[in-house]
């Protein structure tokens, strides 16, 4: 949990630092601040969307509320601090980035590794952005200093229209394919083999039931040997969890912690198991 909260705080602190940096040097970034902040908020929002969806155990409502609040605050920030008229660009880019991040996060299996990967990628991308923006700002500032100050062109509506159209297309695409999007499929451990207890003529396996589903997804077993399976239910999984398998004629209520299920001499075959609510599926392969 500490790593999850730390990832969110890291993104917020870096975003806040760069906004302060741009504010202190706004004369240097004049003319570029709208593009820079749009990119900054978009990348930061993507990292936050990814982290919040996993931290909340795929709670879509909570994640989307946070996303809307963040998008509104991004637009409000640039309007107040930098006096940017087209502040909608920042809100739209934030919302689009947040949705993309949350979408990828929803399909990612909950573990520590995804948070570390996203944190490293975020830091690298933001660092490269700062290097590029500093170089571009220096070139622009030098060009402006050699020219007479003329009347500034009014800001174009094209970026806002493009961002709004992209956001709309993404939301429509998600709505159409919502039933085919499965939680936790990226990075989910796939296989394990049950251990043999020759002394008791028994095979043992432990399967973790997480908010992302079964860990691992498939367990390979030996035919005609009694199986003892421990279904270890994570504390963050909801209540009234039930293990169901029509193939094995199973319907077992699971409590938090370890739950022992015995299967007597299973025959060769592929048996599907699933967890409700959530409809997460896994398999037992008997060879």
pLDDT at 144: 58
CA distances from 286 to 33, 120, 232, 265 (A): 61, 41, 21, 10
Q: Tell me the β-bridge partners of 227.
A: 203, 263
How confident is the prediction along the chain (287 residues), in pLDDT tens digits per residue? 788 889 999 999 999 998 888 888 877 777 778 888 889 999 999 999 999 999 988 888 999 999 999 999 988 888 888 776 667 888 889 999 999 999 999 888 888 888 999 999 999 999 998 888 878 777 765 665 555 444 555 556 677 788 888 888 888 888 887 777 777 778 877 888 888 887 877 888 899 888 878 888 899 988 888 888 889 888 777 778 888 888 888 888 888 889 998 888 778 889 898 888 777 889 999 88
Does the structural domain 191-286 have CATH classification 2.60.40.420? Answer: yes
What is the pTM for the complete model shown?
Answer: 0.77
Report the alpha-carbon distance of residue 208 to residue 241 in Å, rounded: 13
Distance of CA 52 to the CA centre of its chain: 7
Report the alpha-carbon distance of residue 133 to residue 261 in Å, rounded: 59
Q: CA gyration radius for the chain?
A: 25
Domain layout of the chain by residue ranges = 2-149+156-180, 191-286
**Max intra-chain CA distance, the chain:** 91
Q: Where are the alpha helices (DSSP H) in 110-242?
A: 112-145, 158-176
């Amino acid at each position: 949990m500490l790593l999850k909260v730390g990832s969110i705080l890291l993104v917020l602190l870096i975003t806040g630092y760069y906004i302060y940096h741009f504010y202190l040097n706004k004369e240097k970034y004049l003319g570029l601040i709208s593009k820079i902040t749009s990119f900054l908020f978009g990348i930061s929002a993507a990292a936050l969307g990814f982290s919040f969806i996993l931290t909340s155990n795929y709670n879509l409502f909570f994640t989307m509320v946070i996303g809307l609040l963040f998008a509104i605050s991004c637009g409000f920030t640039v309007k107040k601090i930098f006096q940017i008229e087209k502040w909608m660009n920042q809100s739209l880019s934030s919302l689009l980035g947040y949705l993309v991040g949350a979408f990828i996060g929803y399909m990612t299996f909950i573990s520590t590794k995804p948070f570390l990967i996203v944190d490293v990628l975020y830091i690298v991308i933001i660092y490269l952005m700062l290097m590029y923006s500093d170089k571009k700002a220096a070139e622009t500032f030098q060009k402006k200093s050699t020219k007479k100050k003329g009347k500034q062109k009014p800001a174009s509506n094209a970026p806002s229209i493009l961002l709004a159209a992209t956001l709309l297309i993404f939301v429509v695409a998600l709505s159409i394919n919502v039933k085919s999007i499965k939680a936790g499929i990226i990075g989910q451990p796939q296989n394990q083999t049950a251990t043999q207890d020759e002394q008791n003529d028994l095979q043992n396996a432990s399967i973790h039931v997480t908010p992302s589903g079964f860990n691992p997804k498939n367990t390979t077993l030996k035919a005609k040997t009694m199986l003892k399976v421990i279904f270890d239910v994570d504390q963050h999984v909801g209540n009234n969890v039930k293990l169901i398998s029509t193939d094995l004629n199973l319907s077992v209520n699971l409590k938090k912690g370890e739950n022992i299920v015995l299967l007597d001499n299973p025959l060769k075959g592929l048996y599907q198991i699933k967890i409700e609510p959530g409809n997460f599926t896994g398999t037992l392969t008997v060879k």
